[in-house]
A and B are shown apart, each in its own frame.
Chain A
């Protein structure tokens, strides 16, 4: 017999209508490292322009590390890793993954060049130009992932299309600020701390707005594996925010570590919520029957 679902619609033996994304945890980590890289590249550029050489150097190093780890994570997740260069075979604005591949390649090249010049203390003008390129591409690298996830049929992602880029932007600011606070010279990381606090606060607000606006599709964000991640992510981010804003010395570094941990877990919460919403035909049906009136 066909099973009757809670929404009152029937489904075929309760089977999913959609296929779950096959992406593994590498993609969840990439959502973090890509955001960290993009926002750190911008922070480094801004610090350089403000004459804060120490912070510029710190963030440049963070950005270079994150932007070079990112493609490794993505290549590892491919079904055919040896064909990774096919990502740059065409440029398709209808595919956020194509746009993102080009963004990552361009930002990665520019940031690596800038950081190399910085470390070797050579070619200051080339390094400055490269940092400008990376810093200007950074915000796009940190936020396109919102379109990457929402440009799918996955209900909990597609319906969050207006909020996801903002959540990722905020979370990236928090990560870049926190990372520089954690590893940088305390005499120069005032701006990074402010960025971490501002980003963490915005991340909490944007996530809250997103989940409320989603209505019934907010459920997957609160339940199951996604819910477990979120229940650790939010207190970690909130505590990290308070400690970073109010604490001193080593305590600030602990706060920054909490913000980073919260940002990683928040990305995984979003990642898992999408998978869960694709798995359950109720969400697919609820949405489409609502459209049909």
Chain B
């Protein structure tokens, strides 16, 4: 398992606090400035200008060439006059969760994925050999292989490791015009998020909830967590993500038993006639 404390406040023994994102989707206006700023700063290549016909979403999902993805959900709701033909927008800027217990980091065979001093999870592009193991290990489908420009490596959000190292705000948070994306020390962000949920519930938004703020969840809490206005799956997010390596001891035991069984079968087959 990867190393930050389950409460997610500290990672390295030094002075550095764990840094992260709080994405408050209740104030997202779907402008996609985060997607653009991320692409600009990180020199993420263009990977096709497609029309998905899924509302205003034309990037579709996070991947090697999309490190911030704004989801557009159109929901039918009851109108104020009682008819049912009104609709509401749900917009949400998704990003790598920088999990406390990160499956991608655990399964990476080359050590290309590592935990930074800010508690974030980053791929070293000069080490990654494109084995692709982290891709199905991620319970959020964040990582993918870059198949364009003969790259072949895996890419994802670095939480602007370069900018944060220089005391700057990540590009997406900097560009966000409504402070839907907030960057800061994780413990401060969690306090702020608790206050915001209480405020929204007081205002009658009963479905407001935090997603990924609980250090006791299946991945030990996210370094980049969210405030949502509906169930996570509505936004394309898994409702109860679990780090696959939690079950690894059980898997190695099953492998051990199977290997012993194989050796036993080979020995057994030696008994009897040679012909």
A residues whose Cβ falls under 8 Å from a Cβ of B: 1-2, 9-13, 15-23, 38-39, 42-43, 46-47, 49-50, 52, 55, 77-81, 83-84, 86-87, 89-90, 92, 94-98, 101, 138-140, 142-144, 146-147, 150-154, 157-158, 161-166, 168-169, 172-173, 176-177, 186-192, 194-195, 198-199, 202, 274, 278, 281, 284-285, 288-289, 291-292
Contacts and interface: CB of A to CB of B under 8 A. Distances in A.
A186 B259 CA distance: 28
Contact of A147 (B127, B254, B265, B270): B254
Contacts of A13: 52, 54, 57, 236
B17 interface: no
Interface residues of B, number: 80
Contacts of A140: 255, 259
A151 B109 contact: no
Contacts of B152: 78-80
B191 interface: no
Interface in B237-275: 237-242, 244-245, 247-248, 250-252, 254-255, 257-263, 265-270, 272-275
B275 A143 contact: no
B39 interface: no
Contacts of A94: 1, 106-107, 245, 248
B235 interface: yes
Contact of A169 (B130, B139, B262): B262
Contact of B60 (A15, A172, A187, A198): A15
B97 to A, nearest CB: 13
B110 A87 contact: yes
Interface in B184-239: 231, 233-239
Contact of B247 (A42, A80, A144, A161): A161
Nearest to B1: A94
A195 B128 CA distance: 40
Contacts of A202: 265
A278 B107 contact: no
A292 B136 contact: no
Contacts of A199: 265
A151 B262 contact: no
Contacts of B178: none
Given A19-B135, A146-B258, A278-B136, A191 B239 contact: no
Contacts of B75: 1-2
B132 interface: yes
A198 B233 CA distance: 45
Interface in B112-162: 112, 127-133, 135-146, 151-154
A43 to B, nearest CB: 5
B71 interface: yes
B129 A87 contact: yes
A152 B262 contact: no
B61 interface: yes
Contacts of B140: 17-18
B113 to A, nearest CB: 10
Contacts of A198: 265, 268-269
9 contacts: A16-B141, A19-B141, A43-B269, A77-B131, A79-B128, A79-B152, A83-B129, A151-B107, A161-B250
B103 interface: yes
A139 B133 contact: no
B251 to A, nearest CB: 4
Contacts, number: 271
State the 4 A-B residue pairs at the shortest beta-carbon distance, nearest first.
Answer: A79-B130, A79-B152, A12-B236, A83-B129
A80 B130 contact: yes
A147 B249 CA distance: 10
B108 interface: yes
A4 to B, nearest CB: 11
- Of A47, A194, A274, A281, the most chain B CB neighbours within 10 A belong to A194
Nearest to A38: B262
A86 B112 contact: yes
Contacts of A142: 259, 262
Contacts of B16: none
Contact of B273 (A16, A190, A274): A190
Contacts of B258: 139, 143, 146, 165-166, 168-169
Contact of A79 (B76, B103, B132, B263): B132
A210 to B, nearest CB: 11
B127 A42 contact: no
Contacts of B260: 139
A42 B106 CA distance: 30
Contacts of B261: 166, 169
B157 to A, nearest CB: 14
Contacts of B40: none
Nearest to A278: B136
A189 to B, nearest CB: 8
Given A79-B129, A173-B265, 9 more contacts: A23-B132, A43-B266, A52-B274, A97-B109, A153-B136, A162-B254, A169-B258, A173-B266, A288-B240
A281 B60 CA distance: 15
Contacts of A86: 110, 112, 127, 129
